[in-house]
Structure 1
Amino acid sequence: MVHDVISLVLSAGALISAETARPGGPRGVGDKADIDVEVELLLREGLLRVKECDFWGEETGSVLTGARHCWVVDPNDGTTDFLAGRPGSAISVGLLRDSVPVLGVVYAPISVRGPDCIAWQYGMSGLLRNGLHVCPDVNALQLDANSVVFVSTAAYQQPELNAALCAPARFSPMPSIAYRLARVAACDGIAGVSLYSVSPHDVVAGHALLRAAGGDLLDQDGQPIRYDELNKPLCQSCFGGNVSASQRLAARPWRQQLSIT
């Protein structure tokens, strides 16, 4: 199944790449891009052919019947950064089974690494990254000066505070919490952070990838995030990756020091 989803997501990514190359740049304003709806319509149709089940999408709404399986989709996580011309927004496709992430595909068509697709489904050992099998273990990493914490691009505005909050690790700003979590699952970093409220479509796919790499996704209290209710925000903040490092990071005064409301 995961190969069918990868193929579909790569096709959707081509639409995002083409949109970026439009004369005058991508259509949209603020946190809404025209291409997001177009991509989600393509994904919705294709995913329901791969597996007919419930569907939860950011742009086109949901069909929740209580089925065991549910597709959870963000067609372009990081739209604001995408419209501002920053690389690193990502397509995020996750599959829940009985509210547990069992498949994730996160694809950044345009990133500092080039096109980057990271995928997993339940039963696989390790991950597929750009078609190659890798077996990362995020819990083998240490929170030290050699590690990296991925944070949002808002960190550029307060670099000293972010450096202190991520210490002794370095911080690296990038769009898309989905892609932050995916890169952590691939052991590019030790943890990914979102200081803003996230919904299931933001994180289910990245959470699936973390599970494959031995990590987890925690809320602002250091508690594991679960998906019993899809129609509401999951948490105020999330910290995903190496479990010990994520717990340590979650305990730090991010909201007070960075004046997050």
Structure 2
Amino acid sequence: MREQPVPLSPGALARQGVDRALLDAVIALVLEAGHLIAAEVVRPGGPRGAGDKAEIDGEVEVMLRQGLTKLLLCDFVGEETGVRLTGHRYCWVVDPNDGTRDFLQGHLGSAISVGLLRECVPVLGVVYAPLTAHGADCIAWAEGMPHLLRNGALVAPNVAAGGLAEGAQVFVSLAARTRPTQNAELCAPATFYPMPSIAYRFARVAAGDGVAAVSLYAVSTHDVVAGHALLRAGAGGLWNEQGQALGYATPAAFNQPVRFCFGGAESTCRELLARPWQVVLVDGA
């Protein structure tokens, strides 16, 4: 049985960056939620749901919302359970299973994404993919920490040092597999690597596995806040197709319109966003 963490006050968080105790408690909660997603995969008949909706998503978000607001009672933006905005300086932003459509089709790599905004700045992020080809993967950070945590170990990649070079990887959606030639050209001289969750794509860039992540789908704040926090840890960021840095006008809305989204080092993202990504949109890559 997981011990119930003691709620932390916003005043204490502001004085100390973000308290490491809060991050550890969020990680424990997210790992517990990951067991529900893993169990859903092996249930008789497979995961419940169709299209972009899985029943487990709502169940996981209810659990996360209850647990997170016990840790820090503040505003909340969730994909499944809605938005509560009162003007509190802190706000949880949650996607309980980013990559639902691919999850329901049997692909590995969907992820739980939990971020915390302080006055619309991402100051904590936990992205957990409970099922990947390489096993469970949890990447986390909170403001004030010099390094990321990956599966409990400190890692210190420099996102800003990444560039498009042979051997480097650019993470794109699974739909990119339908147009491999075009995606290879768009990411050259790096290689493109398809995977389901945009949150997990950003997290893996933050952890040093790739130099950039791309989304050609419309994204919402719950898709990106946690990954944005992780990228901040390594001097990375997010930009839209116009080259505008993404921030949050409110916890539920971006400060700039977003059609495409690029995450990683600024120079790498600007080089990518200048390329003609429209050529792959026929198949929604």
Gapped runs of 5+ residues in structure 1?
none
Aligned residue for 2:203, secondary structure, equals helix
Pick aligned residue for 1:86 from 100, 107, 127: 107
Gapped runs of 5+ residues in structure 2?
1-21
User: Identity of paired residues, percent?
Assistant: 61
**One-letter identity of the residue aligned with 1:223:** Q
* RMSD of aligned residue pairs (Cα, Å): 1.2
When the two structures are superposed, what TM-score results if normalisation uses the length of structure 1?
0.97
**Alignment pair present for 1:49 and 2:66:** no
**Equivalent residue, structure 1, for 2:82:** 61
**Alignment pair present for 1:76 and 2:76:** no
Q: How does 1:107-256 map to 2 (within 5 A)?
A: 107-232=128-253, 234-256=257-279
User: 1:99 deviation in Å?
Assistant: 0.5
Deviations along 1:146-188, one digit per CA (max 9) or x if unpaired, are 1100000000110001001111110000001000000000010
User: 1:220 deviation in Å?
Assistant: 0.9
**One-letter identity of the residue aligned with 2:282:** S
Distance in 2 of aligned mates of 1:231 and 1:96? 10
User: 1:258 deviation in Å?
Assistant: 3.1
Distance in 1 of aligned mates of 2:252 and 2:128? 24
Distance in 2 of aligned mates of 1:166 and 1:40? 35
Distance in 2 of aligned mates of 1:256 and 1:158? 9
**Alignment pair present for 1:26 and 2:52:** no
Aligned residue for 1:235, secondary structure, equals coil
Distance in 1 of aligned mates of 2:150 and 2:61? 22
User: 1:230 deviation in Å?
Assistant: 4.0
Aligned residue for 2:249, secondary structure, equals coil
The structure having more radius of gyration, on CA atoms, is 2
Distance in 1 of aligned mates of 2:134 and 2:267? 27
User: 1:229 deviation in Å?
Assistant: 3.2
Residue pair 2:172, 2:215 contacting (<8 A) in 1 also: yes
Aligned residue for 1:228, secondary structure, equals strand
Q: What is the number of residues matched between the two proteins? A: 261
**One-letter identity of the residue aligned with 2:132:** S
**Equivalent residue, structure 1, for 2:18:** none
Distance in 1 of aligned mates of 2:282 and 2:177? 15
**Alignment pair present for 1:106 and 2:127:** yes
**One-letter identity of the residue aligned with 2:275:** R
